[in-house]
Structure 1
């Protein structure tokens, strides 16, 4: 799991059972509403990149 909490909001990446899930603000700098989605649900060719600074051990 990777987690980043900043004034711009919370961002997280969770890898579990071969699936990658993301939690991100609904809009930039929106700390009230968040989206949670599976990487497989992204359109083909799109790249979701997590640039957080913290990582947990495997």
Structure 2
């Protein structure tokens, strides 16, 4: 039960966020920023981006 005491208030707060469009926009912008940073950090995706940039540099 101690775990539920920690999780339930967080779920209630998250439920309140879904009711306001401003909070949804802030959450969407934050998640877009963090996902962009994650793509840069993950080596596999970084290699894909570097290959794409190298191809574009060769073309023009």
Q: Smaller-chain TM-score range?
A: under 0.3
Max radius of gyration: which structure?
Answer: 2
| TM-score using structure 1 length | 0.19
Q: Which has the higher contact order (CA 8 A, sep 6+)?
A: 1
